[in-house]
Structures are given as structure tokens and as C-alpha cells.
Structure 1
Amino acid sequence: MSDADINRLVGIIQTARIKKRQFIDQPGYTSQYRNYIVKGSFRSFFLDAEGKEHTVQIAMEDWFVSDFYSYITQTPATLFVEALEDSVILRMSYEEIEGLCKEIHGLSEYFRITTERAFAFSRKRALSSLSMTAEERYLELLERYPAMVDRIPQKIIASYLGMTPEFLSRIRKNLSSQS
């Protein structure tokens, strides 16, 4: 991208400070922003019919976070997106980014590639949850995102991995006794 294109992009970015437990998206409201995490962490989750939380994404620095289906389709969100720590994000509104992407090929390419990577990761995660044991899923998370285990509460990690916190605790205990 040219310096002029970068300046146009910078001109639409809003910096927002988000407090721990604050929502940036929630069901019923259309996601208006593509959010880039500068500092902090978030989770995306939904509530089932019994009110149980199911975490579908954990995101930390250098990741984008939103109810992406809502953002891309501009329809009401189905996910809560909640800050897990006091955080700083860069927000880009849907209308402004779409307008710039029509004019700046490099920006459009960047968002196409990040969206494709997010889709590929989502597909891999779905396959892992169907084909791997709970312990294998936890070990994969540890290998890919070691800092996550220290920063994210165990109950949220357990929800993300599709298990109870008690079961995750047993896995961690078994792994520590093996080393």
C-alpha cells in the first residue's frame, strides 16, 4: 500500500479501551466493527437453551475479534464478545473498511487473506474437536498458545475445548504427574 493509502486507513481507525467483562458484541445487535487487539484478551461465546456458556473463540494480542458472521453479513449477532482483561483495541467500522477495500486493492487483499486464515483455522478446530481426545486438544492448545493457559481462566479454556473445568483439571493433574 502507498503512504497515502496507509494514511487513509489510519484515518478511519478508532482506538478503544475496553474494561474486563465489557462486551463489544452481543446477540441482537449487528456487529459494526472489525476489532484488532493491541493489548488484552477476549472470548466469543453463546448461551445454549439451558443457559450454559459455550466459548467458540479466545483471542489475544495481534488477533481480530468480533462476531464475524454478524460483521460480514451485517445481521444481528448471535455471540457475546467479552473482554477477559482490560484491553486496547483498534476498531474499524464496516462501512468505512468496505469503502476503502473497494478503492485500495492491497487492503482488500489483506482482509481476504486474514479471513481465509480465520476460516481455515475454524475448520481445523472443528475437525480437532471431532477427531481428537480431550487431552490431545488440550496439548495442542498448549503447544500453539502457551501464554493462553497462564492468562485465560481455566473454566473458559475448558469451555473452549468442550469439557468441564473439573475434567480439564484432571487432565492437567495427569500431565503434571507424568513429567
Structure 2
Amino acid sequence: MMTSKIIEYANNLIKLTDEEAEQLSNAFKEVNIKKRQFIVQPNFTAKNRYYVLKGTLMAYVVTDEGHNHTITFAIDDWWITDYNSYIFQQPATMFIVALEDTIVLQIDHEKEHDLKKSNHKFETFFRIMAERGLASHQRRIISNLTQSAEERYENYASKYPQIVQRVPQYALASYLGMTTEFLSRIRNKRVAKKS
């Protein structure tokens, strides 16, 4: 069963008894998402948090001028939602769309809240994930402020090669804070160096 993946994930952070594993597993529901399907949209409250079993999702915002800015990606074994909307149960500001057919485990806000109330281990589990997410976002901000576009690409490509291969170039360029054309030049230069 696919929910065994969430147990495996959780056991890497906290150790669950069989009963706790079943309780965690029962809080999640498997959902199939088609390519180009949206699971979060602005002005609607994000009711769920998603753990990706297989596939790729992208979160982005659109400015008043119509420009898209990629906020994050989620691939196998990653989590995604509009966290501000989900945590505070207020209208979302992001779009989250499937870049390929995707299978997720979703947990709704109320079930997560009930899990945390029922057992401190679940509170610890979600806290650790929040801390890791915060550290990751901090690294991204620092990278954007201190590295050249080329350095950002090189570091990201070496750390997350599977994302670089799976997401469209326009989305990756947006995430890294550059134009698609500039990213294409960086990639071409990289290929030329290897030749």
C-alpha cells in the first residue's frame, strides 16, 4: 500500500509503534493528480498538505503585471502546499500545479491538527519538517542574495539533478531568478565545457 511510504518517511524522523504507524497512515488519503491539474489556487483556502509519492508539482505566484514567479517544486518524497494558507486557514496566494501525472498522499488541516493533539510524536514529526523547510528557504534566500545566476544554477543542478531534468526550463529559470534565455546560455556553456 502506498501509505507505507509515509510510515517509512516518518520513521526516518521519529520512531513509530505499529499502532502509531497505523494512526498516521489512516490520516492520509491517496490522490491522483493529472498533468496541468491545479491543487491550490489563489483566493481559495489550502485545506490539504501533500506528500508526493510520484510525480512533480510546482508552486508559483503571478504578479499584477502577469509575470510568473516559481516559488518551489516538489518531486517524489517531498512535501508541498501554500503553507501560509494551510497553516492559518486563509485564502491562498499561490498556484500549485502538476507538471506531470502525480500521485500524492494528502492530509487535511483538521486531521493533522488531531494527530498532533493525540500524540507528541506527531507534533515532533511536523515540527521537524517545518524546521527543515525553513532552513531550506533560508538557504535559497541567501543564495539569491550572494551568488551569481551561474553559481545558483550550478549549485542547484548539482544538488537537485532530478529536478533540473524533470521541470520545464521556463519554470527552473523563474525559480533561479533569471530569464529562460540566460539559463539556456548557462546550460550551453556547461555542455561546451564538458565537450
The TM-score bracket by the shorter chain reads over 0.9
Alignment-derived partner of residue 138 in structure 1: 153
Which residue does 2:32 correspond to in 1? 17
Q: C-alpha root-mean-square deviation of aligned residues, in Å?
A: 0.8
1:40 to 43, 55, 60: 55
Following superposition, the deviation at residue 84 of structure 1 comes to 0.5
Within 1, Cα distance between the matches of 2:78 and 2:119? Answer: 22
Q: Secondary structure at the match of 1:56?
A: strand
| Deviation for aligned residue 1:29 | 0.7
Instruction: Report the AA paired with residue 108 of structure 2.
Output: S
Look up the match of 2:162.
147
Provide structure 1 residue ranges, at least 5 long, that are not aligned to the other structure. Answer: none
> Which residue in 2 is equivalent to 1:82?
97
Shift of 1:85: 0.5
The CA distance in 2 between the partners of 1:32 and 1:101, in whole Å, is: 16
Per-residue CA shift, 1:95-116, capped at 9, x if unaligned?
A: 0111111111111101100110
* TM-score (norm. length: structure 2): 0.90
Report what 2:117 is aligned to: 102
What SS class does the counterpart of residue 186 from structure 2 fall into? helix
Percent identity between matched residues is: 42
Q: Of residues 140, 143, 152 in structure 2, which corresponds to 1:128? A: 143
Structure-1 separation of matches of 2:25 and 2:140: 33
Partner of 2:3: none
| Rounded Cα–Cα distance in structure 2 between residues aligned with 1:141 and 1:40 | 19
Shift of 1:34: 1.1
Which residue matches 1:55?
70
Residue 2 (1) aligns with residue 11 (2):
no
The gaps in structure 2 that reach 5 residues or longer are: 1-15
Residue of structure 1 equivalent to 2:79: 64
